[in-house]
Structure formats: structure tokens, C-alpha cells
Structure 1
């Protein structure tokens, strides 16, 4: 019996080659998309599961709400002081470790180069997070270091570096570390982004900034804990509220009592949940979110579903060709159950053939797909991460789902009706309506994906081109200005850069294009005791022209007015800070800041005084005089709301230098670099053009647009395959009808219009379904942006037009061929 089923199935496929190719190609594309997305989802969910003892390793994260706006925040970072207090108060903690992100200068043979992902640790961090060692030991003592194999080869040309000295410059001081161990290269599926860990005595390192060691409101590093096996982490998290009250002191700010922990809470989060968790921390590693993973999984399922729909549609459409076979089998004694098994078996055979082709496609596409995602995707067939069993399961699932309805449909034919007068009973009532409904569903998915692609692309273009509130073109942003080696050379650097040909303005600041700096303070408006959170950032007198800001009222900082200057000596001089606080200072704010402080207009704010605790808590409250108001500027992504900003004139420790230029960008950059290297050989030159910074800022959005475009293309291809098969079948079945119409005087264009309209109606109806769903999805997505495009009708009309055009182009060939055929060939036997 099975041999007979196999023979019949193979002959049926060979007889209807077009039908077979369409079905197998559609299923193969859908399956390949599913397998690739399966690999991607598995990779995203595998983050940090490779860590030894990952189940007991936790990151201490900070959560809360902005007291001013009520907006929630979630950080992977936590304050330094939490590490020791948690370890002291909770016996369930076995080990604790803290790492601080830093970018020291690497020094070798007198040459200074930049570093990436170098971390400072206060103790043997590797006892808390068990990163695998390739050689040597952990951080057993201060002034020791561990370095990854890749970083060792980059710096020394070999990974045999245990015992060698690693020299860096940090805070202007040259520091030597003995390399005690070499770490294995961390895989990409880790939230940890580390090239080296340097162990320091933090008490000595922060001797000039003691507030860092006791500040509860600071998020400046990452705290990790290893809990004892069997610890109930939910119970531990429930005890943190009481722990906060016991540990966090009350302080006074401008006569107002507040608690540094009032607006924030903490939580133990397992390292395996960090990557897809709530807390964001791009400075460690870019993370993903569960919604994105779910979205791509749903799209992959929809694409596979479209291929299954193709199979069902074509199988029911071709039922007339199998009707006599079914009737004869029933006459010879076949039961309906046997017929169902036969047709489902044929479907599984097609599904298996498609899966083999899909796996071949995956083999070809997995490397470029992984490169596009910047992920370590590997295709394995066996083992824990093998896809053989999932592939077999997917083959059976698709085969059964594809063949179940056609099997029930074909097996219910009545032999007497089929064989009587050699007539077919294949086209039972309702089957045509089902095919139409499935075609509508297919094109609704295709149209929806095209709309999503258009909206995501339009928003990405808008984000790059929207007015940021400053002149974003012709800017070279130079990093590394905060190095202690340059603190005494800041004015010299600016003056020498100004003299370069093509340079029109130079300014220094700690807020640049695509800044990751967050520095807030509480300001108390006139007549109020309530603090308003405002961002405070340092600039110099040249920043206004270099950035191209717009002055709305008042004036910018003037170097000839001492009250404009807020620079204080470093290291901290408490007497100087108190003198500055007693004297009062002048600041410039943006429009958003003055509105938050309650002023009606920029002119209304000029000359007004607000109060704030600018420095450490023990310097007292100072009067801040508003001398100018500038337009709002966007220094971050359009996803992030514009900051309310107070600019302070501080000519010390800026993070970046903004160079505005005219002329050839490469020539200007080369001239700036030459001048830089003449000034210092201890700080590497690191500069980017504003266009490159913005491109990198929206790289993720570009990737998402390309992913949607790829999925939309797949959906359209699969939909067209099904439509092509149905059009061919319909044209064949209606040959005699068309012949009669032509004999009765119908013209070719009338016939073509009739057939094209038959397949255009489902596409038009699909628009009615796809448009509201796509609008709802894209509205929610766009709401994640502070500035966004208007969701107008153009993407919907364009998507509908593209789908309709593709549908017409798919069927018009069959329509013209049939319409031009000589009717005598169709009617010669009538």
C-alpha cells in the first residue's frame, strides 16, 4: 500500500511540474525564513548562559521614576556604595564585585593609543563573575590585570603575556599593572563587553573625589553578586525596600529634606536575563528587547503560513484532476481514512523536499545573515543546539497543516457523482470562496509588511534629517579632551585649532553629538521650594558658534565678565567652591528648561535667579542668574526626549571639542590631527564627522528597516507564486468559457480585464484588512520616538498600489495568452 502511495505521489508531482515547483519553492522560502529566525531567537536567548555558575550570578540594577516628570527609568548600573552594604546585610551573598567603565590611554614604547572596554575593579571581580581564563590567575592583588586573548595579541602580538607589565595613563598619571591572567575571548552573546580588567584601590583612586564612594544616587558602574546556591532571589528582592530605609541617609538640599533613594529602587537580576531585560545600558553592550524578538518570530510564522496557504489553495483548485482517482479508489474499497493518510503523506513528502531545499538556502544565507546582525550564528544539526529535530518537527507540522484540509476535501468526493456521465464533482460549494479568503489573507500580510517597511524607512530618514536645533553639518567632533594630560593645555589647543585654514569656530563641552553623558541637578524656581530636575553641562565661550546654536533672548557667555566663569580648581578645593556658591553664577538655559522652571517666555527668564546645589552637598546653595536663553537642541537620538539644559561656562575637563569648518573635510581633519600630535603624544587623536556619528546613532533603525524590507519581499514572492499558480489553473479551467465569449464578440482586452479583475478584487479587499492593522502597529512603534513622522495615507496607498501592480503583473501574462488563443481549439469537440 505504502509503495503504491509513494508511486502515485511522485507521478502526481512529476505530472504537474508547475504546481510542484510553486509549492516546493514557496514552502522552502517560508521554512528557510523560519529556520533563520529560529537561529536568531535561540542566539538572543542564549546570552550569558555559557557563563559558569550563571544561575547564581546576578547584576544589581537600578529602577525608579523621575520625580519631576514621572517617567520611569531602568539602569543596569548601580552606585558603588551598594556593593559593600548588600554584602554586609545579606548573608545569602557569597561574592560581590564592582567594575567601572573607563577608557585609559594605553602606553607602549612611548606611543599612546586609545582603549575600548577596559574596566576597573575594586577586588577580585572574577571570583564573582567566573569569566574563563586561558592562562594565569585571577586578580589576586591591586595593580594586577587580566586581558583577553584578542586584546593581548592586538597589544603585544601574542597571548603569552602573563607576567608582563601593562601601562596606562589615567587621570594624567602613568600606572603599571602586572598581567596576572589571560581571559578567553568573550563570545558575542554576552552582555559583558570587556577587553581588560584592571584591579585598583578605589579609596586611593577616588581620594580627590570621595563623594563617588558614598553617593547613593550615582550610577557609575556595574555591581555583581554571586548568591549561595538555593537562594530565593524573589524573597531577596522583597527585602530591599526595608534595606534602603536602613541604609540610605537623609540629606538637606536648600533647606529641603530629601532621601537619595526616594526616586529609585534596586533589584537582583540574573545575568542570563540582562540582555533581554528592562534595564538599558548601551555603554556595556547594545541590548535587544523581547518585543523585537517576538515581532520577528510572528513575521516568520506569517511568511510560512502564506506558503501553507499556497499549498492549500492549489491543492483544492486542482481537486478536479484527482477526483476520478479518489472515486476509483473508493470503488475498489479504499476507506476515507486511507485516502486522508495518502494525501497527508503526499503533503509531508512535498514538505520534506521543501525542507531539504530550505536547509540548503540556510547554509548559503546563514553567514551573511549573521554578519548583518553582528551575531555568532552557527548552523548545527546535532547536539543541544542542533536544528535537526526542530527541522523534522517543522517538516511534519507544515506537511500536516498543508495537507489536512485538502485531504479531507478530496476524500469526501462521492464516486457516483464523479463517475456519472464522466463528470467531476471537485468544485464543491464553498471551495472557491475559501481560496479567495486565503488569497486575501496572503496579500493582507504582504501589504502590511510593505507599509511597515515604508514607515520604518521614512522615520529613519526623518531622524537623520530633522532639525536638531543646531547646525549639524560641517562639524568635526574630537574626543579625549577630558584627559588630565590636557587640562592645562585646553586654551592652547583651542587657539591653535582656530588658526587652521578652513576652521571657523572651536568650542569645548561635555555634551556633544550623540552624547551618552547624563548630568542632572535640582533647581529651585523663584517663590518655590520644590526642585525641578535640569540637565547641567559645561561649555566654553566658543561652543555657541561652533555648535551653531540659536539665541532666543539675552546673551551668551563673555570671557570679559568674571561672573560668567564657573571654573574651579581641580583637585577639589572646598573653599573655592564655597566662594563660588556664595558669589553666585551666570548660566544660559534652553527654552525647555525655562518653561519647566515656570517662566512664560525666554524674555521673561532673563535676569531671573534660581537656586541650586551645584557641587557636593557641603558647599551650600548658590544663586544662579539666567543671562541667556537658546533654542532647544537635540543631542541624542530622536527616541529620547529633548533635555532641559543649563549650560555652565567651565573651562576645565571638557569631554569633547567641536570644530566647525568649511572646505574639504579630509583636509581639515588631517590638519587638526597634525596640530593635535604637536601638542601631545600622550593622548591619541580620536575624531569623527557629525555625519558619521549620526549614521552610527541610527544604525539599529537602518537594520530594522532592512529586515522589514527583506520580510516584505519574501511575503510578496510567496504571494505571487500562489497567485501565479491559481491564475494558470483558472485560465486553464475557463478556456471553453473564454472561447465562447470570443465567438460571441468579446475582444481580447475584455477577456484580459475580466481575468485581471477576478484577482484584483482580493487585493483590494486585503487593503481594507491590512491598513488598520498596520496603522495600529506603526502608531505604537512611532510613539517610541520623541520626534516622529506623521502617519499619513501615502505609505498605505503606495503599499496598496505596489501589491495591486504585482498581482496584475502576475496574472496578466496568463490572461493575455488565453485571450489571444483561437477559440476553435477550445470548442472543436463541443
Structure 2
């Protein structure tokens, strides 16, 4: 019996090659897309699960909600002071450790090199987070001034990873330190939020000997704290204890007439390391995380594309029901039960599913490497063992086969032999299937149209993000980093002046904020009549920053070198005497337009000349009177996802982090000239610079990838939908051959026939638009709301998707329509 079923199924496919191709190829596309996306989803969900005891390891995060604006910021970083306080107050904590990045300079054979991903710790980090070691043991960081390197970093620095026992010399905060290499880390897999080339342990309080306030500051986020809870400890109990813990540990601070507490706008949370990558806190992260909503969306799209392929099978099977009605009737006459017929048709569906899966696996094998490279993910296929996909593949084949064949099986098996075998009934239209097919076609095109709309909007927002006016002239900027090194603390002015003399350089200025920099520094302003401080961003610049960045002045003036009150430079480290002098004399500042609004001024001109008080020195000393001498247009220095910052600029002569160089002419020649100048001043700090266009490109890489991925999904969905529509058009044209012949005899023209068939398949597409539009509008509205600056959700993408879908649908059936319309009616009306 089973052999007969198999033979009949293969013959049915071979007899209708178009039907077989559409079903198998459509299912193969759907299965391949589903497998690849689910591999990616599984990879994204696997972050840090490979770490031993990962279920007990947590990252402490600081989440902010501004009491002034209601804006929320979720930081993975947290103050150093909170680590010891947590371990003291929570007996559930087995150990805690602090991890931070300071980009040290390595010295080797008199040449300086650096690594952005090199980390420092204040304790035995590997005892809390047991990263895998190739050489050494878990006590490799048990002592101060020890270091572990990754295999790749050891080979980069020494040419081999057999370097345990050697000394690594590095410069941190201007001090040369020697560290003994005590271990070699295995190169970490990509599916981890720990991005590092090495970890060094040092005495953190001694490291900050010149800035002891860092050790007691509850509003300073410079690193990450990790906890390991005791076995059986309840993390929810720790979370529940944080509000009371904040009140016990965080002191009130007073600055003149202002009183504030670092816990007012800040809450502490612990997040398991397995959830950090897809968590809501992505600011201040070691590596770029991902959005859980995006991952879930990809998984849903994968299922939808597969569902569309299954819909094709169901549609075409019911459309061809009349051609197999006589076969069913004869089987029933010969004694076949309905249960046997159902098993036969489901078996045929599983055969199609198996063949489609084999093709899909071949597609995945060919596409997985470029797909992984595009997403920068470590994706691979294995069929057996842990992580093998054999069982999921078998389940997918079974589910698709059963669900794809279930309705056709029940539908075909219910035919009555008497009604089918009389008067050539088998050639007639099978009743009751038209509505289902139309509904399924509508569903297919609703998905396709929705994806086209989403793709258009995501692409539009991505282009907008790259091209929106940031409030400064973003063209022809070379941004030089590493200016904050202690080795350069007294050389910044010389670097800026020499940079101005490099051929092609138009202007150069120093700053602590630039194109997509991570620096965040805020201070409080006291406004008359408001007992609470107003938080404004505080960034140091020099006189050349204005021209170098290309900022527009809205009112007043910029800093001038000849005016002593414009210079608010304090020595480093700041001395009490100098701070008192600053609090006594005050200084001049420039703010942006948003800052004037936050401070309560009606217009930029209204703010110029006004004097306020700001917390620019130690709280015990008091507030500094500052006079606004100028207001600049708002500038968007960061991503369009983030809100604009209210900013105060102060003019300092040192302590800057970046050099902004505006140039004309050949960018490479200018960069080479700046680099040569740099190396003439320092050999202890590597030269590092990026063009503004490259920085913006890196800033929006994730959005670009999302736009291209959605475009690929939309294309696959359209292909699958068109395959189904092509098959339905072919069978519809075949069934209506006699009707069309009669119409032509009665005088219908070819274009009338084409219009008739085109309209039949256009109606479901029009209805699909009405379904897809509100769903896509709702989804894209929520997505666009995650951006501070965004495009308008206008009718353009929706009309584009509708026209495109109709064009594709009509183009798909046009060949059949013209072929049937131009056929000779004699061939259609001759006696069968």
C-alpha cells in the first residue's frame, strides 16, 4: 500500500511539472529562510551561555530617569563605590569585581601600540567570571600587577602565545607600569558581550591617587561591576533590596544652595550575563548589543515566509482538486477508506517537504557564510551533537508536510464517488475552494506588502539618519583621538597650533565632545526661583573648536583668546585654592539653544549676558557664577536615536579628548600630514584618526544591516507569493479555457480577456493592501518612535508598496493571460 502511495505521489508530481516546481522550490525558499534566520536567532540567544556558572553571574547596571524631562537612559556601567557597598549589604553575593577600559599604550622595542579593548580590574576577575584559559589557572589575576592576554593579542605583541612569566610594560594615565603575564585567555567567541584583548589587575585606589573623588562618587560611571551570587541565591531578592540599600549608602550632597542625591534619578539593577546582550541597557557597553524586539521580529518573519510557502502548497492542492477527484472516487469504489486517503495525501505532502528540505539545506550551506559575514555572527551548521540541527530539520519537515497537506487531504478525501463519476464531473470546478484560495492569497500578499512598506520606511529612516543636518558642518572633518593621554596633558595647544600649519588644514580645535563620541559629562545649574538644579551637559573646548566643527552662532559671541574671563582652565589635578579662586571670580560660557530653553530663557538673545551659578568645582567649595556670552545652534553630536543634549561649552586650555581638524583638498594627504606632525611631538601615544563620514557610517551600521535584511526578507516573501500566484494563474487559465473561447466567439477582444483575468487576481492584492497598511503603520510608528529625529510616516511607502504589489501580481499572471486571450477559440470549444 505504502509503495503504491509513493508511486502515485511521484507520478502526480512528474505529471504536473509546473505544480511540482512551484511547490518544491517555494517550500525550499521558505525552509532555507526559516533555517538561516532561526540559526541567527539561536546564535543571538546563546550569548555568554557558554560561561561556567553563567546563571549565577550578574552585571550591575545603572538606569536613569530624569526628573526634569522624564528621559530614560539605561547604562551597563555603574559607580565603583557601589561594588563594595553591595557585597557588604547583601549576603547573597559571593564575590564582586570591577572592570573598566582605559586604552593603555604598550611599549615594545621603543615603539608604542595600543588596544581599544584592553581592560583593567580591581580584583581577581576570573574568580567571578571564569573566562576560558589556555595557559594559567583561575588565580591568574590573584595578585596586583598581573595580566592575562588573549591568544591573538599575545601573538600580536610577541609573535607567540607562550609568554607566561614575561613582563608587559604599558603606560596608563601617564605612568609606566610593569605587569607580569600570568595567563593566556582563549580567544573569546563572538557570542559574548565581553570584548577584550587582555585583562590587567591593578590597585584601583592607588591608580586614582590624584583623583580620590572617583572612589566615593555615586554619579560617576566609568566601568562595569560583576557579581557572582551564592548557589541558590534569589536575584529577585537582591533587586528588591536595592531601594533600601540606596538610602543607606548614598549620601546627600550640598553645593552652595543646591542639595542633591545621586540616587534621586538613578536606580540599580542586576542583569544576568546571559541577558546583557539583548537587554535594554546598551549605553556604556563593552560591545554592541542587539535589540530583543528585532530578533523576535526576524523569527516571526521567518515563520511567515515559511507559512507563505505552505499556503502555496494548500492553494495549488485545492486548485488541482478537480483533477484528482476521479482518482479519489475510484479508490473509494475499490474499498479505500477516508482515513487511508488522508494518509495518502499527507504522505505526498511529506514527500514534497522532504525534497524541498534537501534543496533548502543545499541553499543554506551555500549562503550561510556570506550571511554570517554580513551579520558579523559566528554562524555554522552541524547536524549532530550539541547544537546540531538534524532534529529541528526533521521536525520542520514533518510539521510543514502535515500542515501543508492536512486541509487538501481532508478536502479531497470527502468527495462522493457517485457525484464525481457521472457526466464527466471531474473536469468541473470543485465547489467551496475559491474563497479559501482567495483568503490565502490575500494573506500572502498582506505579508509581502507589509514587508515592502517596512523595508521602505527603514531604508528612508537610515538615509535620513545619515543625511539629516546635525547642526554643524559634518563634511571634511578629520577627528583625532587620544588627546586625553597624560603624556599629552601639556602638549594639546602645541598639537592644535601645528595642525593648523599642515597643508590643506582650514581650522583645528580641541574638545571633549565631537562626532559620535562617547563622552558624557553633566553639571547642575541653579536658576532663580527653582530650588532644584537643572542638568546641562558640560564640555570643554578651545577657541578653535567653533570654526573647526562649523557650528552656527545664534546670538552673542564665541570665546576669544584676548578675554581672560573666557578662560576657565583649572590645573590638573584641581587644587582647592584654584577652585576657590574660580568660584570667586566666575567665568564666561557658551550654551546651545536647547540649554537656554531648559534654563527658562525665552530666546537665545534673552540668555546672552545673564549670570547663573553652576556646579563646576567641588561641592564643598560651592557654585561658580557663569555668564552666558553666546548661544549656538543645537548640534546633534550623537546618534539620531538619542535625544539632543542641552550643552554648556567652557573654554579650557587642557584636558581635551579629541582634536577636530577641518580640511580642504586631498583627505589622505591631510591625514598623512597630521600623522607626521603628531609623531614629531610624541612617540608614546599612537596616532589614531577617523574621517567624519567613516564615523557616521560606523554609527549607523546596525540600521543599515537591518534595512538590508528586511529588504532580503521582503524579496523572498514576494518571490514565494509570486510563485503561488503564477501557479494559480496557470490553473485558472486552464480551467477557464472554454469560457474564454465562448467569450471570444461572442466578440470579446484579447485585451478584454486580459483585463478580466488581471482583475480577478488584482482584487485579493487590493484587499491585502487594506489589511497590511494599518498593521505596517502601527509597527513602523513604534519603531520610528525609538529615534529622537525621524522621518514623517507619510503615505509614500504605502502607495509605493501598493503599486509595486499590483505591478508584480499583474506581471506574474500577464503571460498566462495573453497566452489564453490570443488562443484560437476552436481549440477550446472542440469536443473533448
**Do these two structures clear the TM 0.5 threshold for a shared fold by scoring above it?**
yes
Equivalent residue runs for 1:502-581 within 5 Å: 502-581=504-583
Equivalent residue runs for 1:337-356 within 5 Å: 337-356=339-358
Q: Cα–Cα, structure 1 residues 463 and 74, in superposed 2: closer, same or farther, change >3 Å?
A: same
Equivalent residue runs for 1:304-323 within 5 Å: 304-323=306-325
CA distance in 2, matches of 1:516, 1:195: 20
CA shift at 1:252, angstroms?
A: 1.1
Instruction: Provide the residue aligned with 2:224 in structure 1.
Output: 222
Q: Do 2:148 and 2:183's aligned partners in 1 also have CA atoms closer than 8 Å?
A: yes
CA shift at 1:386, angstroms?
A: 1.0
Is the aligned partner of 1:641 residue 2:643?
yes
Is the aligned partner of 1:828 residue 2:830?
yes
Equivalent residue runs for 1:149-164 within 5 Å: 149-164=151-166
Q: Do 1:323 and 1:426's aligned partners in 2 also have CA atoms closer than 8 Å?
A: no
Q: Cα–Cα, structure 1 residues 149 and 435, in superposed 2: closer, same or farther, change >3 Å?
A: same
Structure 1 SS opposite 2:391: helix
CA distance in 2, matches of 1:609, 1:365: 64
CA distance in 1, matches of 2:523, 2:142: 39
Instruction: Provide the residue aligned with 1:5 in structure 2.
Output: 5
Deviations 1:398-418 (A, max 9, x none): 111111111111111110010
CA distance in 1, matches of 2:623, 2:214: 20
CA distance in 2, matches of 1:74, 1:465: 27
Q: Do 1:281 and 1:287's aligned partners in 2 also have CA atoms closer than 8 Å?
A: no
Q: Cα–Cα, structure 1 residues 146 and 225, in superposed 2: closer, same or farther, change >3 Å?
A: same
CA distance in 2, matches of 1:738, 1:429: 20
Deviations 1:622-661 (A, max 9, x none): 1111111000000001111110000010111111000001
Equivalent residue runs for 1:90-239 within 5 Å: 90-137=90-137, 138-239=140-241
Instruction: Provide the residue aligned with 1:431 in structure 2.
Output: 433
CA shift at 1:257, angstroms?
A: 2.8
Q: Which stretch has the larger CA shift, 780-789 or 817-826?
A: 817-826
CA shift at 1:526, angstroms?
A: 2.8
Instruction: Provide the residue aligned with 2:789 in structure 1.
Output: 787
CA distance in 1, matches of 2:241, 2:776: 44
- Unpaired segments ≥5 residues, structure 2: none
Instruction: Provide the residue aligned with 2:374 in structure 1.
Output: 372
Instruction: Provide the residue aligned with 2:44 in structure 1.
Output: 44
CA distance in 1, matches of 2:828, 2:792: 55
Deviations 1:579-608 (A, max 9, x none): 111111110000000100000001110111
Equivalent residue runs for 1:645-664 within 5 Å: 645-664=647-666
Instruction: Provide the residue aligned with 1:60 in structure 2.
Output: 60
Structure 2 SS opposite 1:529: coil
Q: Do 1:413 and 1:425's aligned partners in 2 also have CA atoms closer than 8 Å?
A: no
Structure 2 SS opposite 1:239: helix
CA shift at 1:827, angstroms?
A: 1.8
TM-score by length of 2: 0.98
CA distance in 2, matches of 1:822, 1:89: 91
CA distance in 2, matches of 1:447, 1:243: 52
Give the ranges of 4+ consecutive aligned residues of structure 1 lying more than 3 Å apart after TM superposition. 425-429
CA shift at 1:559, angstroms?
A: 0.9
Equivalent residue runs for 1:260-409 within 5 Å: 260-281=262-283, 283-409=285-411
CA distance in 2, matches of 1:448, 1:717: 14
Equivalent residue runs for 1:684-703 within 5 Å: 684-703=686-705
CA distance in 2, matches of 1:282, 1:718: 42
CA distance in 1, matches of 2:253, 2:489: 33
CA distance in 2, matches of 1:546, 1:594: 23
Deviations 1:290-333 (A, max 9, x none): 21111111111111111011001100000011000000111111
CA shift at 1:426, angstroms?
A: 6.3
Deviations 1:516-564 (A, max 9, x none): 1110111111333221110000100000010111111111111111111
CA distance in 2, matches of 1:778, 1:340: 43
CA shift at 1:237, angstroms?
A: 1.6
Instruction: Provide the residue aligned with 1:804 in structure 2.
Output: 806
Q: Do 1:319 and 1:426's aligned partners in 2 also have CA atoms closer than 8 Å?
A: no
Equivalent residue runs for 1:443-454 within 5 Å: 443-454=445-456
CA distance in 2, matches of 1:410, 1:372: 45
Q: Do 2:77 and 2:285's aligned partners in 1 also have CA atoms closer than 8 Å?
A: no
Deviations 1:475-532 (A, max 9, x none): 1111111111112111211111111221111000000001111101111113332211
Structure 2 SS opposite 1:633: coil
CA shift at 1:281, angstroms?
A: 3.3
Count residues in correspondence.
830
CA shift at 1:282, angstroms?
A: 5.2
CA distance in 1, matches of 2:235, 2:749: 78
CA distance in 2, matches of 1:591, 1:281: 25
Q: Which residue of 587, 590, 596 maps to 1:588?
A: 590
Q: Do 2:258 and 2:526's aligned partners in 1 also have CA atoms closer than 8 Å?
A: no
CA shift at 1:735, angstroms?
A: 1.3
Q: CA-atom RMSD, angstroms?
A: 1.2
Structure 2 SS opposite 1:277: coil
Deviations 1:106-140 (A, max 9, x none): 21111112212111111111111111111024112
CA distance in 2, matches of 1:745, 1:26: 39
Q: Which stretch has the larger CA shift, 474-483 or 105-114?
A: 105-114
CA distance in 1, matches of 2:522, 2:201: 30
Q: Which stretch has the larger CA shift, 281-290 or 323-332?
A: 281-290
Q: Do 1:511 and 1:656's aligned partners in 2 also have CA atoms closer than 8 Å?
A: yes
Q: Do 2:612 and 2:627's aligned partners in 1 also have CA atoms closer than 8 Å?
A: yes
CA shift at 1:572, angstroms?
A: 2.4
Deviations 1:56-98 (A, max 9, x none): 1111111231122122222111110111112222222222111
CA shift at 1:259, angstroms?
A: 2.0
CA shift at 1:769, angstroms?
A: 1.2
TM-score by length of 1: 0.99
Q: Which residue of 411, 420, 440 maps to 2:442?
A: 440
Instruction: Provide the residue aligned with 1:766 in structure 2.
Output: 768
Structure 1 SS opposite 2:634: coil
Q: Which stretch has the larger CA shift, 782-791 or 523-532?
A: 523-532
Q: Do 1:613 and 1:619's aligned partners in 2 also have CA atoms closer than 8 Å?
A: no
